[in-house]
């Protein structure tokens, strides 16, 4: 066990100290003070050398201030999701190590206080929450006792399984990369796919690298879809405003003056973002929560196979349209 800072998509935080183990042995005991890093509900965190967080809420500011005051650098990040309208925290999270903290109050006009740079490392399992009564507090973060999982556990994944996943992912990326020369957002996604595929060819990716590549592709695709739909809503709103200047002035006081078609389109954007985010989080949370990464590799291969089948279907549809 060990003690340290602990955070999640909505996260928690705490600080390490040594505690005497059974029969006088020293063992690592992680008592993690936990803290939601609000505004990150759409985030999918995976082990990586660099992860930036913007910090603005008072309880998160307190978290980082406490870390610095105690000379600590580590905290655990887990996912938080509602269960029967009550928040539920995932049992397994990722250990973040704070590398740099900058005060950006003036640069952001007070919207954010800190920009925090981290390294995201090994997994850790929550054994007990020590102050669960503070879960919904807006001023206090949670503390939990956690167990650090082996730092080298990704090395236990079967190399043949990794090779299969790599080959399938490269096929999916190659198909997506065919879209690079098409106009608009599709080209951006195609360019990303080609960069990811090249990276996977130049260096054999590890387990978490493969997860990150799949997550990057799917997350960027969702961002582009949302961006495109928002742009359509913006254009419809501008056209309506030009034709109805008085109604546009009344919009702030009465949102219902906006035509139902535009409001419905705006709701569809929210639904797409929410559903897409939930799907992404579900996939990678299943991987993160598996007892062993060998089990996680099985789930990752399933997710990559689904992506490959999706891209094959997209390509077939594209061929059909061109032949019409």
Contact 5, 14 (CB under 8 A): yes
**141-157: pLDDT as tens digits:** 778 888 999 989 999 99
* C-alpha to C-alpha distances, 119 to 17, 75, 281, nearest whole angstrom: 20, 11, 20
The fraction of the chain above a pLDDT of 90, given in percent, is: 51
What three-state secondary structure class fits 284?
helix
Beta strand pairing status for 26-36 and 5-8? parallel
**36-93: pLDDT as tens digits:** 344 333 467 899 999 998 888 888 888 888 889 989 899 888 887 655 556 678 899 9
**pLDDT(118) > 60:** yes
Residues 232, 173: Cα–Cα separation, whole Å: 28
Sequence-separated (6 or more) residues with CB below 8 Å from residue 70: 15
Contact 176, 311 (CB under 8 A): yes
How does residue 200 score in pLDDT terms, banded at 50, 70 and 90?
A: very high
The verdict on pTM exceeding 0.85 is: no
Average the pLDDT over 302-321 and give the result: 91
Question: Domains plus CATH for the chain?
Answer: 5-151 (2.30.130.40), 157-323 (no CATH)
Greater pLDDT, 41 or 105:
105
**pLDDT(216) > 60:** yes
Greater pLDDT, 190 or 88:
190
Which H or E run contains 59?
A: helix 58-69
Q: What is the pLDDT of residue 57?
A: 83
Residues 322, 324: Cα–Cα separation, whole Å: 6
| Total residues found in the chain within this entry | 324
**262-297: pLDDT as tens digits:** 999 999 999 999 899 889 989 999 999 999 999 999
- Tell me which residue of 305, 318, 233, 306 sits closest to 271, measured CA to CA: 233
Residues 196, 307: Cα–Cα separation, whole Å: 14
How does residue 137 score in pLDDT terms, banded at 50, 70 and 90?
A: confident
Contact 89, 144 (CB under 8 A): no
Average the pLDDT over 230-242 and give the result: 95
**pLDDT(25) > 60:** no
CA 121, 124, 128, 133 dihedral sign is positive
């Amino acid at each position: 066990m060990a003690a340290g800072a602990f955070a999640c998509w909505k996260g928690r935080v705490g600080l390490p100290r040594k505690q005497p183990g059974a029969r006088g042995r020293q063992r690592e005991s992680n008592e993690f003070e936990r803290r939601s890093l609000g505004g990150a509900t759409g985030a999918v965190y995976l082990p990586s050398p660099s992860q930036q967080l913007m910090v603005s809420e008072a309880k998160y500011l307190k978290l980082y201030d406490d870390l610095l005051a105690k000379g600590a650098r580590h905290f655990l990040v887990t996912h938080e999701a509602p269960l029967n309208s009550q928040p539920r925290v995932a049992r397994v999270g990722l250990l973040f190590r704070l590398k740099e903290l900058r005060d950006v109050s003036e640069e952001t006009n007070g919207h954010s206080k800190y920009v925090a740079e981290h390294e995201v490392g090994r997994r850790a399992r929550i054994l007990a929450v020590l102050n669960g009564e503070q879960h919904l507090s807006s001023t206090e973060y949670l503390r939990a006792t956690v167990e650090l999982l082996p730092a080298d556990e990704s090395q236990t994944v079967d190399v043949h399984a990794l090779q299969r996943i790599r080959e399938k992912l490269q096929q999916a990326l190659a198909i997506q990369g065919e879209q690079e020369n098409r106009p608009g957002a599709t080209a951006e996604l195609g360019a990303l796919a080609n960069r990811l595929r090249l990276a996977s060819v130049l260096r054999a990716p590890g387990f978490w690298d493969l997860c990150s590549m799949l997550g990057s592709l799917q997350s960027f695709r969702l961002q582009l879809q949302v961006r495109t739909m928002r742009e359509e809503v913006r254009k419809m709103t501008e056209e309506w405003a030009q034709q109805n200047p008085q109604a546009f002035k009344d919009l702030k006081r009465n949102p219902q003056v906006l035509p139902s078609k535009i409001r419905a389109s705006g709701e569809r954007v929210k639904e797409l973002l929410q559903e897409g985010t939930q799907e992404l989080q579900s996939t990678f949370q299943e991987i993160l929560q598996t007892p062993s990464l060998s089990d996680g590799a099985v789930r990752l291969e399933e997710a990559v196979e689904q992506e490959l089948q999706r891209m094959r279907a997209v390509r077939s549809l594209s061929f059909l349209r061109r032949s019409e």
